[in-house]
Chain A
Amino acid sequence: MITDGVRVDGRKLDELRPTKIEVGVLERADGSAYLEVGGNKIIAGVYGPRESYIRRLLEPNTGVIRCRYNMAPFSVDDRKRPGPDRRSSEISKITADALRPSLMLENYPRSMVDVFIEVIEAEGGTRCAGITAASVALADAGIPMTDIVVACAAGKVDGEIVLDLSEKEDKEGEADLPIAIMPRTGEVTLLQSDGNLSEEEFSKALDLAIDGCMQISEIQKEALKNKYLESME
């Protein structure tokens, strides 16, 4: 999978896939973002803070966030049956957990912020792509936040620690370490790992993933500023 430090798709070990973010792509949602990273195509939309009819989810002192990660049936090689499964339920939960620390919902007690992530096409790393897009959509919705959360994975392929695994690398590689951070403070809000890594490899992969996050963070900021500048013209 790796020859002379070059990966199957021609990338260097520490190189991200081409990444593109567009802000405000939906009319009905309060905030939205479209993200492409490699072959992934993701749309995130945010509604809220809004009144919720699910009383048991509400909190008296703060607003709450609810996420739904969903894959379109045509987004993967073998058609996916529509509707939630165990994988998407888990991703929905950890996405909410990854975004929550950045949100300042104290001024919106008893309200709900809904984040919807639609995977239009999947090519490895959709959970990270979803979080990256969702955080931009939250900012676009005017939700107060301490930072824009960004996510990226590192992993081990062919014995090497590499950044931003493609679908093929994820399937055939030895380990995958998706993380999300708040880039201003560097605090980690998502951390998963599957596959075997030595302590040294883990530490190297974590550093590499953080470095990837910082690069994507710049693309997020650029995208938000671009939308604003466009509307100035």
Chain B
Amino acid sequence: MKIIPEITKESIKDLIGNNQREDGRTIDQYRDISIETDIISKAEGSAKVKIGGTKVIAGIKLQVGAPYPDNPNLGVLMTNCEMVPIADPTFEVGPPNEESIELARVVDRGIRESKMVDLEKLCVEEGNHVWMIFIDLHVLDNCGNLFDACELAVTAALNSTKLPTASIGDDGLVIDKENTFDLPLNEKVVMSTFVKIGSEMVIDPSLMEEDVSDGRLNIGVTEKGLVCSMQKGGMGPLNKKEILDCVNIAISKSSELLNLIK
């Protein structure tokens, strides 16, 4: 259990009440963001994202495997997140805990529900061979707002992913790693995360702001400006106006974030 000094809670709330933040931002402002893609040559796609001090890496690995029986012609998408203990003194060694599973699932939902990846084009042989996309998130430095960093990393990594050519020859499956093409994407998705501090909803929370906040709202937005995934987290409740206001801000911020992905 992490204990935050009462006076720190009060001072952060005071600042936010005046549209100020401890790092000098306004409440609807992101920290500096940088994205690097193709950083891992062994992965078919990869991206490193920094939001302020937060650093995450997304790696995409591809494999041909069997489709799910109920979707014999669709590729398979899997998202996993490792909150490794290098990233935060409170992260522990061991299998993924609730936090990292929630993070992976919220990020996954944005990708999946927006139909970002054209899974139909990932079918090699209906019922037998489809491409399986393994999305692995590696959190390296937790300075707050892992959700937006992870979603951005996954979108950028998928956008940089090269798919080998797969075909069925006389002796079965043939994979040609020399001839690659871009992973077929229908969409791009970005996420904006807000936390409630006092009576304000604050975008891109720093770690300290996360620690003193009452509730959290993740909003995934597509390139077309549609809300494709949401998650309310944290103990505190949110009212309808707060939620609608956040949706409005998330949609308007999405183009800013999408512009960062080449």
Task: Please indicate whether A and B come from the same complex rather than being unrelated chains.
Answer: yes
A residues sitting closer than 8 Å to B (CB atoms) are 26-29, 32, 39, 41, 43-45, 47, 50, 68, 70, 72-79, 82-83, 114, 116, 118, 120-123
Q: Does B12 contact A (CB under 8 A)?
A: no
A79 with B93: in contact, given A27-B141, A29-B86, A74-B42 (CB under 8 Å)?
no
Q: Is the CB of A79 within 8 A of B63?
A: yes
A70 touches B84 (CB 8 A): yes
- Please pick, from A41, A77, A118, the residue contacting B84 in the complex, using a CB distance under 8 A: A118
Interface contacts beyond A27-B53, A27-B143, A74-B61: sample of 13 additional A-B pairs, CB < 8 Å, sorted by A: A28-B89, A29-B141, A39-B41, A39-B42, A47-B85, A47-B89, A72-B59, A72-B138, A73-B80, A73-B136, A74-B46, A118-B86, A121-B42
Q: In the complex, what residues of B have CB within 8 A of residue A114's CB?
A: 85
Most chain B beta carbons < 10 A, residue from A32, A39, A79? A79
- Please tell me if the beta carbons of A26 and B46 are within 8 angstroms of each other in the complex: no
Main secondary structure of the interface of B (DSSP, over half): loop
Chain B, Cβ-Cβ closest to A84: B93
Give the CA-CA distance A83 to B136 in the complex, in Å.
12
- List 30 contacting pairs A-B, 8 Å CB cutoff, sorted by A: A27-B53, A27-B141, A28-B87, A28-B141, A41-B39, A41-B40, A45-B86, A45-B87, A68-B93, A72-B57, A72-B82, A72-B138, A73-B59, A73-B61, A73-B82, A74-B40, A74-B60, A74-B61, A75-B40, A78-B63, A79-B134, A79-B136, A82-B80, A83-B95, A114-B85, A116-B84, A116-B85, A118-B138, A120-B40, A123-B42
Number of interface residues of B (CB under 8 A): 31
Complex Cα distance, B97 from A82, in Å, reads 13
Q: Are A28 and B142 also in contact (CB < 8 A) when A39-B41, A74-B59, A120-B57 are?
A: yes
Q: Residue-by-residue, is B70-114 near A (CB-CB < 8 Å gives 1, otherwise 0)? A: 000000000010101111110001011000000000000000000
Query: Of all chain A residues, which has the CB nearest B157?
Result: A74
In the assembled complex, the Cα of A41 lies from the Cα of B57 at a distance in Å of 12
Asked if B228 CB lies within 8 Å of chain A CBs, one says no
B249 at interface by CB-CB < 8 Å: no
List residues 1-57 of chain B with CB under 8 A from any CB of chain A. Answer: 39-43, 46, 53, 55, 57
Q: What chain A residues lie within 8 Å of B84 (beta carbons)? A: 70, 116, 118
